[in-house]
Structure 1
Amino acid sequence: MNTSFDAQRIGAVVIGASAGGVEALNQLLPVLPKTFAVPVLVVVHVRQGQPSLLPVLFAARCALAIVEPFDKDEIAPGAVYFAPPGYHMLVEAEGGAAPSIALSVDPPVRFSRPSVDVLFESAAHAYGQRLLGIVLSGANDDGARGARAIRDAGGVCWAQDPATATAPAMPLAAIAEGVVNEVLTPDDMAMRLTQCIDRRQ
C-alpha cells in the first residue's frame, strides 16, 4: 500500500471542515492556480435550513471554478465542489463510468448532513489510492472514520495541525484514529497542493 504523498498520482482531493474550517479553506483554495487539474470536493458543516454563502464567497477569491453541484453532475478536473446544505455529497463511479456527484437526504451522520465521513468513504471507494483526504478545523469527530476508509483504500490523509485550528477536535480525532500521514499547517498544505498542477504541461 502506497501511503506517501505523490502529487503525480493524486486524482481527487476531499476536504472536511466544521467550526473554524472556513478560515483554513481560505488559506488553501485561493492559492490553487487555474492549471490545478484535480477536482476538489468539500464538506463544511452548515446550519440546516440556511443557504450556504460559501460558493459565492470562494468564487470571488479563487481561480478555480466553484460549484454547488446538482445530483448526477459529472466531476470535472480543476473545479471545487461544495456540498449543498442539507444534503450528503457522495462520489459515484460504477461500471467504469466517470465519477459523478450523488446527493442524498439520508439521516445525518455524526449529527451532520452533509457529513465528512460520507464524502470520504464514497470517494475512497471511487478513487482508491489516487485520493488525498484533508481534515481541517472542527468541533466534533466527523471525518475520522472517513479518513480510515481513505487509508484502507491506499489513499493519503492529512490533518490540520491542531495548534493552528480554531476548533481542534476534528483533526485530533483523525490523528487519534492512527490514519493520518502528515499533520500540516494550512499554509504547508497549500504549498504541497500546488504540486498537483496540470500534469499535461
Structure 2
Amino acid sequence: MNNRFDVIVIGGSAGSLLVLTEILDALPHQLAPPVVIVLHRLRNVQSEMGRLLSSRRKIVEPEDKEPVREHCIYLAPQNYHLMVEAERTFMLDYSELVNYSRPSIDVTFSSIAEVYGARTLGILLSGANKDGAEGLCQIMAAGGTGLVQDPRTASFDAMPQAAIDMCPGVLPMRIEDIKKFIIGET
C-alpha cells in the first residue's frame, strides 16, 4: 500500500468521468489518504455527479469547515470553489470563476499544496481547458508529485497537455499506470 502521500487530489473536466470511475474502482477500500475530486460541472443545472460517483464508492460533498478525514473520498460541490485550510478543514467559496470554472481545479490544487506540501499526489485528467495546470505546478513546487493522463489517451488533451507544458517533471501516464502508482505498485 502506498503511504507516501497524506492526500490525493484529482482534477478533471470534459472526458474525465469514465477514467475517474476507473481509478475510483481500483482504489483499495482501506486506502488511508483522503481523495479530493474536482470535476467541472454545469453551474445552473441540477447535477447528479455525486450520486453517480457514489453508486460505486461512498463519496461525499464536504460542508464548509468540515475536517478532512482519512479513508474518505470527497467531491467538490457544484458551483463552489473547494479549498483546504491550514487546520485541514474544508472551505467553500463562491468567489469569481477561475479559468471559467467554479469549482476550479487550480484553486483546490493550490490550497492543498500549501497545506500538505510534499505529501500531496496531484492528478490531472482529460479536459478542454488549462484549469489545473498551474495548481499542479504548485503541488510540485511544494515537493509533491504531479501526474497527468497521457494526452494521447485523453478524450480532450488540452488540460493534461497544459500541465506538461507548464510543469517540468510532471509524469504523463496511462490510466492503468496511474492506478498502479496510487496503490504503490510503481
Please give the TM-score of this superposition, normalised by the length of structure 1. 0.88
CA distance in 2, matches of 1:144, 1:36: 26
Following superposition, the deviation at residue 122 of structure 1 comes to 0.2
| Partner residue, 2:6 | 11
Structure 2 CA distance for aligned equivalents of residues 187 and 134 of structure 1: 13
- Is structure 2 residue 145 aligned with structure 1 residue 156? yes
Alignment of 1:1-201 (within 5 A): 7-62=2-57, 65-93=58-86, 97=87, 99-195=88-184
Q: Which segments of structure 1 move beyond 4 Å, counting only runs of 4 or more?
A: none
1:13 and 1:52 map into 2 onto residues whose CA distance is: 23
CA drift of 1:180 comes to 4.3
Query: What is the alpha-carbon distance in structure 2 between the residues aligned to residue 114 and residue 39 of structure 1?
Result: 18
User: CA RMSD of the aligned region, Å?
Assistant: 1.5
Deviation, structure 1 residue 52: 2.6
Q: Which is further off, 24-33 or 132-141?
A: 24-33
**Count of residue pairs the alignment pairs up:** 185
Counterpart Cα distance in 2 of 1:73 and 1:115? 19
Does the 8 Å CA contact 1:157/1:179 hold for their aligned counterparts? no
Counterpart contact for 1:52–1:84, Cα < 8 Å: no
The separation in 2 between residues aligned to 1:179 and 1:78, in whole angstroms, is: 31
Give unmatched runs, 5+ long, in structure 1: 1-5, 197-201
- In structure 1, distance between residues paired with 2:131 and 2:169: 14
Q: Cα distance, 1:192 vs. partner?
A: 1.7
| Kept in 2: contact 1:30–1:61 (CA 8 A) | yes
Moved more, 176-185 or 142-151: 176-185
Q: Distance in 2 between matches of 1:44 and 1:19?
A: 9
Distance 2:118 2:56 in 1: 30
Please give the per-residue CA displacement for 1:53-110, whole angstroms capped at 9, x wherever unaligned: 2221122212xx31111111111111111111110000111xxx3x111000010001
- Take 2:48 and 2:66, find their aligned partners in 1: how far apart are those partners? 20
* TM-score of the two chains, using structure 2 as the length reference: 0.95
Query: How big is each residue's C-alpha offset from its partner over 1:121-172, in whole Å with a ceiling of 9 and x where there is no partner?
Result: 0000000000010010000000111011111111110000011100000000
In structure 2, relative to structure 1, the CA distance for the partners of 1:179 and 1:100 (3 Å cut) is: farther
Greater RCO (CA < 8 Å, at least 6 residues apart): 1
Which amino acid in structure 2 is aligned with residue 165 of structure 1?
A
- Over the matched positions of the two proteins, sequence identity in percent amounts to 41
Give 1:179 shift: 3.4
